[in-house]
Amino acid sequence: MTEIEQLSATQAQPLLAALTEVLHGCVADGASVGFIAADDRAAMERFWQDKIYSLASGDNQLLVAWQQGVIVATVMVGFSAMPNGRHRAEISKLLVHPRARRQGIARRLMQQAEQLAVEQGKTLLVLDTRSGDVATQLYLSMDWQIAGSIPLYAESTEGALDATTVMYKVVG
């Protein structure tokens, strides 16, 4: 059974190693999620430490999926601090550890993230994903729209420069 929970900064801090493990598993499997070296756990821990800090400030919300007491997936909902962007949120770090894939966890996390954004009064959601990734099909199946793509956007774990697809969804 998979359970989804929203974590506060206080709840997330002692789970830093577990959050890092999900990110590590995804990067080791070739995911384009901002990191290119799976063995750079220190950088991954710094990333999560920064995100935990942003939970405390309210700039982000974190949802995690648990299986048998272990975090197996994450998604972040980021809120724009700029006055002209208070109506939008950014979805990021939809990560499902390779051992927990193909169980509908990503879809459930996205549904919860969208609901959370709507509850916060957001009417526009945005995200980006490596062009051609399987995640694009998930987003399209959930009524996300492609705004466009940017070539040579991010370096892959193999050293190639990949395009990213920018997507959006009007909600609420």
Going residue by residue through the chain (172 aa), what tens digit of pLDDT does each one get?
Answer: 999 999 999 999 999 999 999 999 999 998 989 999 889 999 999 999 999 999 999 999 999 999 999 999 999 999 988 899 999 999 999 999 999 999 999 999 999 999 999 999 999 999 999 999 999 999 999 999 999 999 999 998 888 999 999 999 999 8
DSSP annotation of 15:
G
CA-based nearest residue to 87, from 60, 125, 59, 139: 125
Lookup result for tokens 């916060």? 120
Q: What one-character DSSP code corresponds to residue 60?
A: E
How many C-beta neighbours within 10 Å does residue 135 have?
Answer: 19
pLDDT at 114: 98
Q: Contact at 8 Å (CB) between 129 and 147?
A: no
Q: Cα dihedral sign for 2, 6, 90, 51?
A: negative
Report how far Cα 73 is from the mean position of its chain's Cα atoms: 9
Contact 78, 89 (CB under 8 A): yes
Q: Which long-range contacts (CB under 8 A, 24 or more apart) does 101-104 make?
A: 103/2
Asked whether the whole model's pTM tops 0.85, one would answer yes
Q: What is the pLDDT of residue 38?
A: 87
pLDDT value for 172: 81
Nearest-Å Rg of the Cα atoms of the chain is: 15
pLDDT for the residue numbered 32:
85
CA 68 to chain centroid: 21
- Please give the pLDDT value at position 165: 98
Contacts of 29 (CB under 8 A, 6+ apart): 98
